[in-house]
Amino acid sequence: MILPLQITSRNLDLTDAIKANIQEKVDKLDKYCTTITSCRVVVEAIPKRSLYNVNVDIKVPGTELVVKREPNTDLYLAIRDAFDAAYRQLENYTQRHRKDVKHHEEVPHAQISALFTDKGYGFLTTFDGREIYFHENSVLNHGFKHLNKGMEVRFVEEMGEKGPQASTVTVIRGQ
């Protein structure tokens, strides 16, 4: 549970409905991330321009998340936009904190070392010296007949009946 929630207004009086709307948004943040230690919301009216500015300042262990959005002519939209941005920042924070950031593995590359076009298969040699079987049906875009020995390809490796085999073979450079 968030310990202190502080709502400050400048150049306007906040109605109970607006305060309830802000509290509802803060409760949603609190349900998503239970490590929030404080939340400060500043609602400001810019009278000469008929705009509303909403800033949200959230403290979590190790950092402070600050949301400053462009002013809006509708107060409820300004609140919604500020809290949507705060939710996204909190989501990024929790993913980093849990180390949920996705790491994309590099797609392996190889060179075609042998082709048996009459039998519909061939072999790739990876840059670390391994030999991998591939079938003509694993070459994308029905391109098996256009392959030549020495072409560089990328592929997905999987285990076949007799050892590693390549699927989803795509030509990178021709020879």
Quick check: 35 pLDDT over 70? yes
CB atoms under 10 Å from CB of 79, counted, come to: 22
* pLDDT band for position 174 (cuts 50, 70, 90): low
In this predicted model, what pLDDT tens digit does every residue of 1-31 receive, in sequence order?
A: 455 789 999 999 999 999 999 999 999 998 8
Q: Where are the domains of the chain?
A: 5-98, 109-173
In this predicted model, what pLDDT tens digit does every residue of 56-114 receive, in sequence order?
A: 999 988 889 999 988 999 999 999 999 999 999 999 888 887 765 555 667 788 999 99
Question: Are domains 5-98 and 109-173 of this chain identical in fold?
Answer: no
29, 42 Cβ separation under 8 angstroms: no
Quick check: 175 pLDDT over 60? no
Which H, E and C letters describe the chain, residue by residue? CCCCEEEEEECCCCCHHHHHHHHHHHHHHHHHCCCCCEEEEEEEEEHHHCEEEEEEEEEECCEEEEEECCCECCHHHHHHHHHHHHHHHHHHHHHHHHCCCCCCCCCCEEEEEEEECCCCEEEEEECCCCEEEEEHHHEHHHCHHHCCCCCEEEEEEEEECCEEEEEEEEEEECC
* pLDDT band for position 168 (cuts 50, 70, 90): confident
How much is the pLDDT for 104?
61
Rounded-to-integer distance, Cα 94 and Cα 63, Å: 11
Rounded-to-integer distance, Cα 36 and Cα 19, Å: 19
How much is the pLDDT for 32?
87
* pLDDT band for position 115 (cuts 50, 70, 90): very high
Quick check: 126 pLDDT over 60? yes
Domain 5-98: assigned CATH number = 3.30.160.100
Query: Which is the CATH superfamily of the domain at 109-173?
Result: Nucleic acid-binding proteins (2.40.50.140)
In this predicted model, what pLDDT tens digit does every residue of 127-136 receive, in sequence order?
A: 888 999 999 9
